[in-house]
Amino acid sequence: MRFDPRLAAQVAEFDRPNGLAAMRTLLGLPYGVRPDAVFCFSDMLAVGAQRALYEAGLDIPGDVAVAGVDGSAEGLYSTPSLTSVMPDQASIAAMAVSCLVTRIGSEDPLPYEVRTAPHRLAVRESTDGVRRPLPT
């Protein structure tokens, strides 16, 4: 699939109102261009997107599948529950502290580094449509 900039809705913040507005923009695209799935940079954006889909009378995931990033409790308790990429927050914190300590201890500029934290995909109702009870 080729990149289509019309499908990359811009947001000012990763929150519910911006997710709502971005999804409304995507829903305004002509049929055939409009997405059948959206991946949001945060669960809060995704929850806002879900609201726009609900308002438009569309089925999640039947018409549009939705996924986010965070593994937030709000995404877990939303209806439908939100599929989310869940980063290992303890690993992210440890890597950040390690980088900071290294930078503080160095007099010379350090080379650019890419680090990847462990993560997992929590597949939920917003992409697979399978209703399931929440864990107790």
**SS3 letters for 73-136?**
HHHHHCCCCCEEEEECHHHHHHHHHHHHHHHHCCCCCCCCCCCCCCEEEECCHHHHCCCCCCCC
* DSSP-based three-state secondary structure for 48: helix
Give the tens place of pLDDT for each residue, 26-56: 999 998 888 999 999 999 999 999 999 999 9
Of 54, 37, 45, 42, nearest to 17 by C-alpha is 45
Predicted TM-score (pTM) of this structure: 0.87
37: tokens are 């799935």
Give the tens place of pLDDT for each residue, 98-135: 999 988 988 888 888 899 999 999 999 999 999 999 88
Query: pLDDT class for 2, splitting at 50, 70, 90?
Result: confident
Give the tens place of pLDDT for each residue, 116-126: 999 999 999 99
* DSSP-based three-state secondary structure for 33: coil
**pLDDT at residue 79, as a whole number:** 94
Cα distance between residue 126 and residue 67, in whole Å: 7
**pLDDT at residue 113, as a whole number:** 87
Domains for the chain: give ranges and CATH numbers. Answer: 5-128 (3.40.50.2300)
Of 76, 92, 96, nearest to 84 by C-alpha is 76
Of 47, 48, 50, 76, nearest to 63 by C-alpha is 50
**pLDDT at residue 1, as a whole number:** 77
Residues in the chain: 136
